[in-house]
Amino acid sequence: MDSLPLGSSGLRCSALGLGCMGMSEFYGPSDDARSLATLEAAVEQGITLFDTADMYGAGHNETLLGGFLKGRRDKVVLATKFAIVRPTAAYARTIDNSPAYVRSACEASLRRLGIDTIDLYYVHRRNPQTPLEDTLGALAELKAEGKIRAVGLSEVSAQTLRAAHAILPIAAVQSEYSLWTRDAEAEVLTTCAELGITFVAYSPLGRAALTGAITPTTLAEGDFRRAMPRFGAEAWAVNRPLVEALGDFASARGATPAQVALAWLLGRPQPLVPIFGTRSPERLRENIGAAALRLSADDRATLDALFPPGIAQGTRYTEEGMKNLDV
């Protein structure tokens, strides 16, 4: 698998990364043994970027990865995040960017992961009440101490990105980006390209909707997609034909919808790393097949016409989630 630089940090990672959130929370029941098998398969297939956060499963996700990393630390570029504080298992949260919290969160993540240094440490969400200089100053201290190697931001505006990068080099920006979520194209992608910052696309398969393998009625109890507007009955009546059209497009080219959706992202000219989530070694191997799929200019034009920006019905988060985006 090809590798890409993470900004100017000196780190490099695989062209596809693995998002580990669903191994602990949000997408219904999970199984640690199967998750560990998926992590093992990812390493075997050449994936080096593993993405987690302290709030996934209230620390469970980092602990799971920490166990897996023993004896494999040199094979993984480990990214984790801080800032979202959930005092209970509920979705409601607060955002803490204070210097004291930056340090305490980092120390806690290092303990759960069982490592000395986090490769890429993201500000998961921005709290505009805390000056960027304060948050980034604390991150600069952690970097000087060798506790983190590079700094990233998640779901920030182009304006915030420029301001932050002027204070401290930003290696990566992580935001939702897929065929049916193209908000980043307005400004953030071009700003990343201009500043030499790698863009990391999470939910590149539309939270599995673009795979054609799920529908709102097949989601398990407790799956947080049940509450997401894009999966509501009215929205799905509009969104289902989009998914079906992608399935027809992929079938005509001897590929799966997931492979086409990932290949569409991999074909962009700037450094961009899609991080798909899965708990299945079989699905992981299918998704990695996207790295060998080459879409022609006509293919890309067809997909762009099928999925113009704003085509998907429904917001991508609930009202609680949307209010935490820096747009």
Measured distance CA(314)–CA(318) in Å, rounded: 9
Burial class (CB in 10 A: 0-12, 13-18, 19+), 30: middle
Beta strands 3-5; 12-14: pairing state: antiparallel
Q: Where are the alpha helices (DSSP H) in 173-252?
A: 188-195, 233-252
DSSP string, 290-318: GGG----HHHHHHHHHHS-TT-S-S-SS-
Q: Which helix (H) or strand (E) holds 33?
A: helix 32-44
Is the pTM value of this prediction over 0.85? Answer: yes
**Which residues are tagged catalytic?**
56
- 186: its two tokens: 């307005």
Show pLDDT as tens, one digit a residue, over the chain (327 residues).
899 999 999 999 999 999 999 999 888 888 999 999 999 999 999 999 999 999 999 999 999 999 999 999 999 999 999 999 987 666 678 999 999 999 999 999 999 999 999 999 999 999 999 999 999 999 999 999 999 999 999 999 999 999 999 999 999 999 999 999 999 999 999 999 999 999 999 999 999 999 999 999 999 888 999 999 999 999 999 999 999 999 999 999 999 999 999 999 999 888 899 999 999 999 999 999 999 999 999 999 999 999 999 999 999 988 878 878 886
Burial 275-297 (b: 16+ CB within 10 A, else e): bbbbbebebbebbbebbebebee
- 123: its two tokens: 């500000």
